[in-house]
């Protein structure tokens, strides 16, 4: 095949009358010289990479099993068929060859491989028609056809088969001519190049413009009926007559030629790639008519196929001149831009090459002098380039220069060389004195905090006060914020909002379970694979020295033989000494004083005292029902809908449903569980929508079946009726009664175990991670002592000894509180009613319901005492009363924590009379009005005050 193509190429170039044939043939490294006798032009080329003026797309290779070649034809051969030697009879029927990349112009020769077709006696110099295909996709036509034809089209076929299917198919409803332009080019195959096999390379010369009339299918190709564009024809050298009978003035034609001449002359300077072809046109410009000159000038540009087709389809010479002029100007403009880019790139390459050459020279010179180790110069120069204009403190810069000096003396293959290079990389890339400009605008910070979080007024106020102090000082440092609260209340997200409000970078690290202090302060460089601690790593990643560091779960630090992380945190967090924080890996002090540290914890009891002393604790008690309702409506539902792909108008959850969801399923202090339940609801709705869409699609498919499927439709009609009730009507409304369908039975059925408390039953208030809750204490008298058996001596003397035991999975603190309460209750009852010996002689059993839940804390002291006094007096306490407070042996009521959560628990249960320690009165007046509204507090200092209120 290659040999045949080589022979054909040389034959066409040397013997034929066109000037330059451009082909791409591999595996011919030698350079050859060709001479065209008729044009007296000579050129040299390399068969390995011949210049191509036009390049067809890969699809045309599948169509023609070869590559097309274009060339400019000499004027005498171009007009041969118009000089009267051969006359055409129109209309005529010729083979159709579609071009996918660009059209063929009259006077231009294309070398290609054509499908085999028979020669006829009437037309020995076989002619073909080349048409530029506008739109090969033809998808609308395929969609209009039947399904069988569409399936055939999807099969893997060659491009020629696809074209044949399109033109020959009788089922196609569209007009095949719609995919062809109105104007094409009639071309003639040179008599000696008529194809005899699929591998024959032929040259076809464009003759004149023709228009398509009709397409007729053939066995291996397709035929097209063509006609002349106009009654006129190309006038050989008479420039006063335009193509197709459109006359122009001779002087005007001469002026047009001069303009084209100037443009071609400018193009040949900018684009040497076209030098030979353009030079040929300039030398023979007088031989060409204006119409031919425009076609040939247009054909040497690299314009798009649609633009060239516009020129080919333009009949009036004056209009065609304007189009060609614009294409040549665009070609010149593009060539100037390309030349400028190449010149700039060349200059930059020259500078870089010169720099590389000098650096290599310097490296070899220093290597010969023994000043540095071989290969170290490039690495040092790379590090110095990275340093650039960055600022470094003096002590850090001294260490860097010292390491540079050390690196020059080391061998590249040594282990210490890699250690030193890694150490230098960390020293150079750290943002020693790089600070991000922070925003201290209080109003903007307030707007961002309100945008990200609903409620938490006390927390926001404290953060804004912190920013206000920084606004007056000019910077924010010196304080460590510690956000303490139950899970899911937004502690970490508050830190993230704070970084956004201050326009600082954000870094988060979880300290939960951390037991190795080296993770905070780094490892010694002597270890293989040593790295700095998390503070230095965060600085390098964020590229700034004043970020916001959020350290989560500081109350869950561990301790092991590898060190105490809480002690390692002291140096990093203490504002008095963190300006010279020393990392074990760097071994150079680093300034952490500009970092804003935000710690998060669930409780403060497990945080070491020295560490807690350096923090400013901000407590987040959690959200009330109203706050959770607004958070769900404004934030959570929108977030969940976005994550599940459900549109806003597809689902609507009523306010009552959200309240019930909060009250019966999500009673914890945070909103994390609320978000999980909302996700569960939306997932089930998404499943319904997906099933509905599937049923709807199946119904549509069945309804569009043909008449031959009527029996199948009748059998499926009943099935469709069953599917109708599954189709979803939007929006889907989730009401209170639907929650059990989506989430199952309610988790919390109510706090009030006893609708009406009796003798020995008292309502207390407790705090837990889920927020506040009611804690009942009930006491009864038993017939015998289950703990301390009576001795025989006590029985003989008739002496009765009372006992007390308490159950309900209590912690050590609460057990001690129950002993104190029992002792005080006996003492208090003896003072109030000396004749009442019930507590001293009776066996009493006290129980805290919900025994599966661990309970601990001293705040149930007054509740246990009241339960014992009520049992001894056989009097129930007043209704709708709840209490909390720690009792002492002397009867003093001590303050408690979690007042807000306990008030919320009482409000949920409908209790409006509350007893608190006197010292918690200040906490009561800090609560919001919507929390305290309708609740009457009673503040007591000693138990005698409670006795007067209840009994």
Cβ pair 784, 915 in contact under 8 A? no
Phi, psi at 109, each rounded to 5°: -105, 135
* DSSP calls for 788-846: SPPPHHHHHHT----EEEEESSB-HHHHHHHHHHHHHHHHHHHHH-TT--HHHHSEEEE
Q: How far is the C-alpha of 46 from the C-alpha of 16, rounded, in Å? A: 20
DSSP SS3 for 41: strand
902 labelled catalytic:
yes
Cβ pair 223, 117 in contact under 8 A? no
Q: How far is the C-alpha of 906 from the C-alpha of 914, rounded, in Å? A: 8
Integer CA distances (angstroms), 596 to 477, 509, 548, 599, 930, in order: 6, 14, 5, 10, 34
Q: How far is the C-alpha of 764 from the C-alpha of 757, rounded, in Å? A: 12
Q: How far is the C-alpha of 532 from the C-alpha of 523, rounded, in Å? A: 6
Q: Which long-range contacts (CB under 8 A, 24 or more apart) does 724-729 make?
A: 726/688, 726/691, 726/692, 726/695, 727/692, 727/695, 727/696, 728/688, 728/689, 728/692
Q: Which long-range contacts (CB under 8 A, 24 or more apart) does 758-761 make?
A: 758/876, 759/870, 759/871, 759/874, 759/875, 759/876, 760/867, 760/868, 760/870, 760/871, 761/867, 761/870, 761/876
Q: How far is the C-alpha of 87 from the C-alpha of 652, rounded, in Å? A: 80
The residues near 238 (Cβ < 8 Å, ≥ 6 apart) are: 289
Q: How far is the C-alpha of 336 from the C-alpha of 343, rounded, in Å? A: 10
Q: How far is the C-alpha of 679 from the C-alpha of 671, rounded, in Å? A: 12
* Burial (CB count within 10 angstroms: exposed 0-12, middle 13-18, buried 19+), residue 207: buried
DSSP SS3 for 759: coil
State the catalytic residue, choosing from 779, 855, 902, 909: 902
**Nearest Cα to Cα of residue 578 among 562, 596, 554:** 596
The residues near 196 (Cβ < 8 Å, ≥ 6 apart) are: 116
859 labelled catalytic:
yes
* Burial (CB count within 10 angstroms: exposed 0-12, middle 13-18, buried 19+), residue 178: exposed
Q: State the greatest distance between any 2 C-alpha atoms of the chain, in Å, as a whole number.
A: 154
**Nearest Cα to Cα of residue 651 among 547, 582, 738, 713:** 738
State the catalytic residue, choosing from 859, 867, 870, 909: 859
Q: How far is the C-alpha of 184 from the C-alpha of 182, rounded, in Å? A: 7
**Nearest Cα to Cα of residue 901 among 765, 762, 752:** 765
Which residues are known catalytic residues? 859, 902
């Amino acid at each position: 095949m290659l040999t045949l193509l080589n022979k054909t190429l040389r034959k066409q170039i040397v013997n034929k009358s066109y000037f330059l044939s451009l082909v791409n043939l591999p595996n011919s490294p030698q350079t050859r010289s060709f001479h065209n006798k008729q044009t007296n032009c000579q050129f040299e080329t390399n068969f390995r990479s011949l210049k191509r003026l036009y390049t067809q797309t890969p699809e045309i290779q599948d169509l023609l099993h070869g590559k097309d070649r274009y060339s400019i034809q000499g004027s005498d051969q171009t007009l041969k068929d118009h000089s009267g030697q051969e006359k055409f009879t129109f209309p005529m029927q010729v083979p159709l060859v579609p071009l996918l990349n660009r059209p063929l112009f009259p006077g231009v020769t294309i070398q290609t491989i054509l499908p085999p077709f028979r020669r006829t006696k009437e037309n020995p110099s076989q002619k073909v028609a080349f048409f530029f295909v506008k739109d090969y996709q033809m998808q609308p036509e395929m969609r209009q056809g039947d399904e069988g034809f569409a399936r055939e089209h999807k099969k893997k076929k060659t491009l020629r088969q696809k074209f044949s299917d399109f033109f020959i198919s009788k089922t196609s409803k569209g007009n095949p001519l719609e995919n062809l332009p109105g104007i094409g080019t009639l071309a003639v195959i040179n008599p000696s190049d008529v194809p005899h096999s699929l591998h024959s390379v032929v040259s076809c010369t464009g003759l004149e413009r023709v228009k398509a009339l009709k397409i007729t299918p053939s066995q291996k190709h397709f035929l097209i009926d063509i006609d002349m564009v106009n009654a006129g024809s190309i006038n050989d050298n008479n420039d006063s007559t335009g193509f197709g009978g459109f006359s122009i003035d001779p002087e005007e034609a001469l002026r047009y030629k001069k303009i084209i001449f100037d443009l071609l002359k400018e193009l040949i300077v900018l684009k040497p790639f076209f030098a030979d072809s353009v030079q040929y046109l300039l030398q023979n410009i007088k031989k060409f008519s204006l119409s031919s000159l425009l076609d040939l000038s247009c054909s040497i540009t690299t314009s798009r196929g649609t633009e060239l087709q516009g020129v080919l389809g333009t009949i009036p010479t004056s209009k065609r001149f304007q189009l060609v002029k614009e294409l040549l100007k665009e070609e010149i403009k593009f060539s100037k831009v390309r030349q400028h880019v190449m010149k700039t790139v060349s200059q930059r390459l020259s500078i870089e090459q010169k720099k590389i050459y000098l650096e290599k020279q310097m490296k070899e010179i220093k290597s010969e002098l023994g000043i540095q180790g071989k290969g170290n110069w490039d690495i040092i120069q790379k590090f110095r380039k990275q340093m650039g204009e960055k600022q470094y403190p003096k002590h850090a810069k001294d260490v860097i220069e010292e390491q540079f000096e050390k690196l020059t003396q080391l061998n590249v293959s040594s282990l210490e060389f890699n250690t030193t290079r890694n150490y230098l990389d960390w020293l150079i890339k750290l943002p020693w004195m790089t600070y991000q400009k922070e925003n201290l605008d209080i109003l903007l910070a307030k707007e961002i905090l309100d945008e990200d979080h609903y409620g938490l007024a006390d927390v926001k106020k404290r953060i804004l006060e912190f920013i206000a102090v920084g606004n007056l000082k000019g910077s924010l440092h010196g304080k460590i914020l510690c956000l303490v609260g139950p899970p899911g209340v937004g502690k970490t997200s508050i830190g993230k909002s704070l970084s956004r409000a201050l326009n600082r970078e954000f870094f988060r690290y979880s300290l939960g379970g951390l037991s190795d202090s080296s993770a905070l302060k780094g490892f010694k460089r002597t270890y293989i694979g040593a790295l700095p601690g998390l503070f230095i790593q965060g600085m390098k990643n964020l590229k700034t020295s004043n970020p916001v560091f959020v350290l989560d779960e500081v109350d869950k630090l561990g301790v092991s033989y590898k060190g105490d992380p809480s002690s390692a945190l002291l140096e990093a967090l203490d504002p008095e000494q963190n300006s010279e924080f020393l990392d074990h890996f760097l071994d150079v002090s680093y300034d952490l004083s500009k970092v804003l540290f935000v710690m998060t914890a669930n409780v403060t009891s497990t945080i070491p005292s020295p560490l807690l002393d350096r923090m400013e604790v901000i407590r987040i008690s959690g959200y009330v029902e109203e706050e959770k309702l607004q958070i769900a409506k404004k934030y959570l539902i929108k977030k969940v809908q976005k994550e599940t792909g459900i549109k806003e108008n597809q689902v609507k959850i009523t306010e009552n449903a959200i309240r019930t969801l909060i009250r019966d399923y999500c009673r914890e202090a945070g909103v994390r569980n609320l978000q999980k339940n909302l996700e569960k609801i939306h997932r089930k709705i998404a499943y319904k929508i997906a099933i509905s869409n599937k049923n709807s699609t199946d119904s549509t498919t069945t309804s569009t079946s043909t008449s031959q499927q009527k029996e199948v439709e009748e059998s499926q009609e009943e099935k469709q009726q069953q599917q109708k009730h599954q189709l979803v009507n939007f929006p889907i409304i989730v009401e209170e009664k639907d929650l059990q369908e989506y989430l199952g039975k309610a988790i919390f059925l109510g706090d009030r175990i006893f609708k009406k408390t009796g003798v020995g039953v008292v309502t207390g208030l407790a705090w837990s991670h889920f927020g506040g809750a009611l804690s009942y204490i009930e006491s009864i008298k038993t017939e015998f002592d289950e703990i301390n058996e009576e001795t025989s001596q006590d029985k003989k003397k008739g002496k009765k000894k009372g006992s007390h035991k308490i159950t309900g999975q209590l912690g050590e603190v609460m057990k001690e509180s129950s002993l104190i309460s029992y002792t005080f209750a006996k003492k208090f009852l003896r003072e109030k009613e000396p004749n009442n010996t019930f507590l001293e002689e009776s066996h009493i059993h006290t129980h805290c319901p919900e025994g599966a839940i661990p309970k601990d804390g001293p705040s149930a002291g007054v509740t246990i005492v009241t339960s014992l006094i009520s049992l001894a007096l056989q009097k129930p306490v007043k209704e709708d009363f709840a209490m909390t407070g720690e009792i002492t042996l002397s009867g003093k009521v001590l303050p408690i924590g979690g007042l807000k959560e306990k008030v919320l628990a009482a409000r949920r249960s409908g209790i409006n009379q509350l007893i608190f320690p006197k010292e918690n009165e200040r906490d009561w007046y800090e609560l919001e009005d919507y929390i305290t509204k309708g609740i009457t507090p009673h503040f007591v200092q000693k138990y005698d005050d409670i006795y007067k209120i209840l009994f």
